[in-house]
Amino acid sequence: MDDQSALDRIKAPELERVLGHTWRVLDDGFVRVVDYLGSDQAIVQAARVSYGAGTKAVHEDTGLIRYLMRHRHTTPFEMCEIKLHVRVPMDTWRQWIRHRTASTNEYSTRYSIAIDQAARTDPGAWRLQSSRNRQGSAGVLPAEVGGRFTEREAELQALARNVYEERLAAGIAREQARKDLPLSTYTEAYWKIDLYNLLHFLGLRMDEHAQAEIRAYATVIGNEIVRRWCPIAWQAFKDYHLNSLTLSALEIQVIRRLSGGDRDGARRLAEEFGWLATRDGKLRRNRERAEAWRKLRDLGIDPPWPE
């Protein structure tokens, strides 16, 4: 290996073709790739602590990356970084910025005029509060009912913008004039993160329980960007994390009983674990029991207790 080949920039050809491309998200949001460092090859390079270009078969590189992903050897994935330019509603950005493993620089409304665009909600997209999850939703309002809320939303956003612009025209400081802008107002940011922490972000935000708005961004980042950037790592991530099941020691004990045909024994275990506690003759809510129930269903096993 000569010195020059060791210094050659590792490229991801599929991602190179879409640098600067704008993927639209929601009504006026977007994601675009500004720059990146590394690719699947960089992961392999870091794991082997040598460049080795052309010395290993493709299937060997694939096998190594899948081994690293499967056994949670995370450092090689940190050798890849990506910088995104995103436009996102402020309420969604609040969830996004909770992931503190990235470098971020956000559009500042102290220095600049706030972006004159706010996220709108279609009449059929007003979600109802979940009765089982305080931070989640379940179902939607009928569009004929939601239409009224969409109208009121537009009125509120227009009023807030008008008041904001009146303050600016009167000479009020931007840092104070912005105080009553709605959280639906779009903001923009540059967001730089390594692949390991990006995959952690996507694992949480592509999950079906994540809020729909941030899930829309995460889905674009994963399926459109990471897929082109590090396709082997992305497939391994989907196989071992996104589309896999993790079983607890308790769940394994239950499955062993069920696989032996001992449904009564499996139910007794569930009782010992506290999953089947009752109140006033009814099963008390238990998240661990519900999660175990869904996993058994996914495995084609009929659970010996109600959800």
Q: Give me the pLDDT at residue 141, please.
A: 92
Judgement on whether residues 62 and 211 belong to the same structural domain of the protein:
yes
Domain presence at residue 104: yes
Domain presence at residue 278: yes
Judgement on whether residues 95 and 189 belong to the same structural domain of the protein:
yes
Measured distance CA(240)–CA(228) in Å, rounded = 19
Q: Give me the pLDDT at residue 275, please.
A: 95
Judgement on whether residues 198 and 79 belong to the same structural domain of the protein:
yes
Q: Give me the pLDDT at residue 253, please.
A: 97
Judgement on whether residues 45 and 98 belong to the same structural domain of the protein:
yes
Query: What does DSSP say about strands 23-25 and 29-37: parallel, antiparallel, or unpaired?
Result: antiparallel
Judgement on whether residues 169 and 129 belong to the same structural domain of the protein:
yes
Measured distance CA(264)–CA(192) in Å, rounded = 52
Judgement on whether residues 35 and 106 belong to the same structural domain of the protein:
yes
**Long-range contacts of range 165-170, CB-CB < 8 Å, 24 or more positions apart?**
168/113
Contact 90, 185 (CB under 8 A): yes
- Bridge partners of 297, per DSSP, are none
Domain presence at residue 118: no
Exactly one of 161, 205, 215, 289 is catalytic; which is it? 205
Contact 69, 200 (CB under 8 A): no
Measured distance CA(162)–CA(156) in Å, rounded = 10
In which residue ranges of the chain is pLDDT below 50? 1-2, 4, 51, 54-55
Judgement on whether residues 10 and 152 belong to the same structural domain of the protein:
no
Which residue, among 28, 26, 31, has the nearest Cα to 220 in the 3D structure? 31
Which residue, among 219, 224, 226, has the nearest Cα to 197 in the 3D structure? 226
Question: Residue 9 sits in a domain of what CATH number?
Answer: 3.30.1360.170
Measured distance CA(89)–CA(188) in Å, rounded = 9
Domain presence at residue 107: yes
Q: Give the predicted TM-score (pTM) of the model.
A: 0.90
Domain presence at residue 67: yes
The neighbour count for residue 75, using CB atoms within 10 Å, is 12
Residues 6+ apart with CB under 8 A from 133: 209
pLDDT tens sequence across 154-202: 999 999 999 999 999 999 999 999 999 999 999 999 999 999 999 999 9
Ramachandran quadrant class, 171 (left: phi over 0; alpha: psi -120 to 50; beta: rest): left
pLDDT tens sequence across 87-128: 999 999 999 999 999 999 999 999 999 999 999 999 999 999
Q: Is 205 a catalytic residue?
A: yes
Q: Domains in the chain: how many in total?
A: 3
Measured distance CA(45)–CA(183) in Å, rounded = 43
The share of the chain scoring above pLDDT 90, in percent, equals 85
Which residue, among 2, 8, 84, 12, has the nearest Cα to 41 in the 3D structure? 12
Judgement on whether residues 81 and 217 belong to the same structural domain of the protein:
yes
Judgement on whether residues 104 and 128 belong to the same structural domain of the protein:
no
Q: Give me the pLDDT at residue 107, please.
A: 96
Which structural domain range is residue 289 located in? Answer: 249-298
